[in-house]
Structure 1
Amino acid sequence: MSQSRPHWSYSAISQYLRCPLQYYFQRTLGIPSRTTSSGLALGSAVHAGLAEYHRRLMERQETSPEAVTKAFRDDWHERETREAIQFRDGDSRDDCIAQGVHLLELYLKESPPERIVAVELRFMAPLCNSRGEYLETPLVAITDLITGTEDGLRVQEFKTSGRSYSEFDVASSLQPTCYVHAVRECLGQETSVEYTVLVKTKTPKVQRLQTSRYAEDCGRLGDLVQSIQRAVDLGIFYPVESPMNCSTCPYRQPCRDWGQSNRPIEAAELVPLEIPQEALACSPN
């Protein structure tokens, strides 16, 4: 969270839902992350390359694959100076960089976006629940790209993924809800959301999926954030252990230490449960 003012973001919300204990280590205790997965590093670097490309388009500057690739490599190298990048079995640094460059080249072959309004625009918007009550902590959302359409605005979200997205993936995600709510609160306009997925399959491809959100979705977002805030205030943090969560988690050791600090309950501490005799009576067949 921001040091200047506490706020919620999609990444913070989704992190608590994914693993409250990881949220606690990173956002409550502020334990610095010493490692990151190659997938996150690749996604960040690809976003940097895309942002460079879109800014040049918006400012009507000359665009070139070299400038886009440079932005990608600069972001990758900057991350390497801060964190150790963990690669999956069979992957290597050179393979990941080559894959990222190839995905960017693939996107640059697409028709360029038109009527660009903003690139990586940051919003800070008040949140309200489904009863119209405003929450104390606002929402921060940073859009990858905003373009104009005949019907208004469109937020374009870019993803790198090892698989194609489904309609359900985008329909059930909270991220478009965050964008739609932020644009409505800050700009007073309605917006749609389009996912552009750079799919890292054997034959890479660009996938586009559109989705919409409505007032009731934004109210539900506020309800969810309000519930998470109450849980955080009460200190409710616990691990959600799964191969997906734990394999590349930078807080694996603090997590194990947390588990060791919770000693088993001794048998002598257990209080016998008194059950009324009438409750033990079996009904006749």
Structure 2
Amino acid sequence: MTNRPHWSYSSISQYLRCPLQYYFQRVLGLPSRSIGSGLVLGSAVHAGLAEYHRRLKEHESIESEAILKVFHECWGEKEAGETVVYRNGESREDNREQGIQLLKLYLDEPPPDGIVAVEQRVLVPLYNSQGEYLEIPLVAIADLITATEQDLTVREFKTSGRAYSAADVESSLQPTCYVHAVRETFGRDANVEYTVLVKTKTPKVQRLRTSRYSEDCGRLGDVVQTIQRAVDLGIFYPVESPMNCATCPYRQHCREWGQPSRPMETPELVKLDIPQEAMACSLN
């Protein structure tokens, strides 16, 4: 399951966000030179949350020290593996303290009931809006799945420097990936709840719920199918923006891309006679 070619929300969103970064990481397999501080904080918080939810599910004692130990271990592993890039005004100590505050804030909330799975990984087929199954499947990893007699809910945890809006959740393909995976795995519909740990001066927990339907799952397949065609055609290009570039681990590779003395294979530039369906990937 781990070695089989597959799509995931992270690979889909990466291509939509910056096809050239997708190319460097997933086609050439270039090692990243750095990791953004936000990813380190988010990974460490997620590790602590997973330990907390696992203990709840197994009815084990909830010890904050043990959960924070997992947080610190994950943080140390990330620092040992790559150079951490901090934004202007950030520091390692402030970031770690902020992560600890967010984790403690969530632990002070009422615990979730009816835990079905923690960090559940599933491999499911994808189909397009015509009901045609795609060759490459989807892997989805749900942070937390809870159930009641009436409801099945996938809970996604985010750390963010700002509160999310309803539009952020409604326009994301991530809930669609989860709902599709649950339907294919459990044969049931599910809702998705975002739990956003907001890294403001006064940290807070924000919750937003959303739903997806059959037509959304078919559209997900259409998007993936179009991206696959674009990848097969070698359509890779940079999308330069402060959001993409500030902590991108392939920044130097990107600056060298397209230069005559480039030290790496660069995809050929595609002429403008690109099939219409392949061009659609840049519009979604």
Change (3 A) 1:262 1:181: farther
Alpha-carbon RMSD across the aligned residues, in angstroms, is 1.3
Q: Report the Cα distance in structure 2 between the residues aligned to 1:246 and 1:105, rounded to whole angstroms.
A: 31
DSSP 3-state at the match of 1:155: strand
Instruction: Name the counterpart of 2:271.
Output: none
Instruction: Name the counterpart of 1:198.
Output: 197
TM-score (normalised: structure 1): 0.90
How big is the shift at 1:3?
6.3
Instruction: Name the counterpart of 1:208.
Output: 207
Change (3 A) 1:185 1:261: farther
What amino acid is the match of 1:124? L
Instruction: Name the counterpart of 1:110.
Output: 109
Indicate conservation of the 8 Å contact 1:124/1:138, yes or no: yes
Q: Give the number of aligned pairs.
A: 262
Instruction: Name the counterpart of 1:149.
Output: 148
Report Cα offsets for 1:49-106 as digits up to 9, x if no partner: 0000000000000011111111111000001111011111111111111100000100
Q: Report the Cα distance in structure 2 between the residues aligned to 1:198 and 1:19, rounded to whole angstroms.
A: 26
How big is the shift at 1:262?
9.4
Instruction: Name the counterpart of 1:89.
Output: 88
Instruction: Name the counterpart of 1:46.
Output: 45
How much identity, in percent, do the aligned residues show? 71
Q: Report the Cα distance in structure 1 between the residues aligned to 2:221 and 2:229, rounded to whole angstroms.
A: 12
Instruction: Name the counterpart of 2:54.
Output: 55
Report Cα offsets for 1:167-224 as digits up to 9, x if no partner: 1111111000000000101111111000000000011000000000000000000000
Instruction: Name the counterpart of 2:239.
Output: 240
Instruction: Name the counterpart of 1:130.
Output: 129
1:166-205 equivalence runs, <5 A: 166-205=165-204
What amino acid is the match of 1:39? G
Indicate conservation of the 8 Å contact 1:130/1:223, yes or no: yes
Q: Report the Cα distance in structure 2 between the residues aligned to 1:261 and 1:252, rounded to whole angstroms.
A: 18
DSSP 3-state at the match of 1:39: helix
Report Cα offsets for 1:137-190 as digits up to 9, x if no partner: 000000000001232310000000000001111111100000000010111111
How big is the shift at 1:247?
1.1
Q: Report the Cα distance in structure 1 between the residues aligned to 2:155 and 2:198, rounded to whole angstroms.
A: 16
What amino acid is the match of 1:31? L
Instruction: Name the counterpart of 2:249.
Output: 250
DSSP 3-state at the match of 1:260: coil
Q: Report the Cα distance in structure 2 between the residues aligned to 1:185 and 1:158, rounded to whole angstroms.
A: 22
Structure 1: 4+ residue segments shifted above 4 A: none
Instruction: Name the counterpart of 2:275.
Output: none
Q: Which moved more, 1:2-11 or 1:32-41?
A: 2-11
DSSP 3-state at the match of 1:210: strand
Indicate conservation of the 8 Å contact 1:152/1:189, yes or no: no
Instruction: Name the counterpart of 1:282.
Output: none
Q: Report the Cα distance in structure 2 between the residues aligned to 1:113 and 1:37, rounded to whole angstroms.
A: 30
Change (3 A) 1:30 1:3: farther
Unmatched 5+ stretches in structure 2: 263-284
How big is the shift at 1:256?
1.1
How big is the shift at 1:34?
2.0
Instruction: Name the counterpart of 1:231.
Output: 230
What amino acid is the match of 1:126? P
Does the alignment pair 1:34 with 2:33?
yes
